[in-house]
Amino acid sequence: MRIRDPLTIATLAVAAWALIVGVVAGARLTGVPVALAASIEAGAAPAPPMEGTVRVDIPEGASSDRILDLLYGAGVAEDREALRTWLLYTGVGSELSAGRYDFALNTPPAEILRRLRAGPDRIERITFRAGLRTEEIGEILERARIFTAAQWNAAVANAVPREFMEGGDLLGYLLPDTYELEEDTTAASLLEAMLDRFEAQVTPDLIQEAADQGWSLYEVLTLASVVEREAVHPEEKPEVAAVFRNRLADGWALQADPTVQFAISLGPVNGQGSVLLYSWWKSELTLDDLAYDSPYNTYLYPGLMPGPIANPDIDSIRATIRPASSALFYFVASPACDGRHLFAETLDQHNANVEIFRASDCGN
């Protein structure tokens, strides 16, 4: 039977047209994940960069819509809805990584998602352990083939002191931590990042807490550097700090071996002879070493040294400001040889601990 009702004919025509459009659109959309899969496979060549680049910071926990807004607002995505369509039909929204990216303007959607899945632009991460000298940081960077020691030393020499710094030296202020190195990181910008990290963690409240006890920040760093070199385990740092704070309060000499190691490294010929022979920290000190005349030798001179001997971490700095509440005056290595110590309040207790250590396998 032939249909003659115009309304019915129109309705069928519209339905047929919608079906055709749907099929075509569906075919296009189903091609999206296929194309994207090909473009984001490992080793796939990225799209050629277009003229002009922009830096975009994707914050941790950002939603897909927030990421789309950032990319579109920065000019990375020419069409926000096109990128949203790719994101929707590929289902990779949960795989996008936060971080800092340098994008070409009007980057194709497939390349944007490939980059965001691969992770932020960086060369690598580098960790500086606590207790290093400034020169040691340069040696580490050179061994890692990131910068030469000469480039690092030049950055140190040309660094502009911050307002919170005393002493005219960076030693003590280069906060040990893990740092991200990006394509444009220089020795100078890495140094500034370390000072930024110090300023962020050593807060004005912490500095004021020390000042309320009669300690300047530089004095705190000076003693914290000794705590750092003596304490292997973070949980012992408040006790080690208490020993040295108690000695200072009673007018004793600190009698800390790391200060002698530092003093020797500053010896004749700018210390290069001793550094070449024993590295920056001579491991076995002799009686002659303990008698070496230097204001850094805390066996000879009571009170604090002229300045820090290493870069302490935030745990050592806090421990120096907030030492354990105790009457400890002595410590010796634990017989377990695990880097821990036996602490004592009196000389008799300390001598007994020394005998325990000497009788152990570690002491032998």
| Complete domains list, the chain, with CATH | 53-118 (3.30.1490.480), 124-201 (no CATH), 204-358 (no CATH)
The Cα 330–Cα 238 span in angstroms is 13
Least trusted range by pLDDT, from 99-113, 150-164, 193-207, 247-261: 99-113
- Whether the pTM exceeds 0.75: the reply is no
8 Å CB contact between 343 and 235: no
8 Å CB contact between 179 and 191: no
219-254: burial string, b at 16+ Cβ within 10 Å, e else: bbbbbbbbbbbbbbeeebbbbbbbbbbbbbeeeeeb
The Cα 70–Cα 80 span in angstroms is 10
pLDDT in tens, 296-351: 999 999 999 999 999 999 999 999 999 999 999 999 999 999 999 999 999 999 99
pLDDT in tens, 140-192: 999 988 999 999 999 999 999 998 998 778 999 999 999 988 878 999 999 99
Read off the DSSP letter of residue 131.
Answer: T
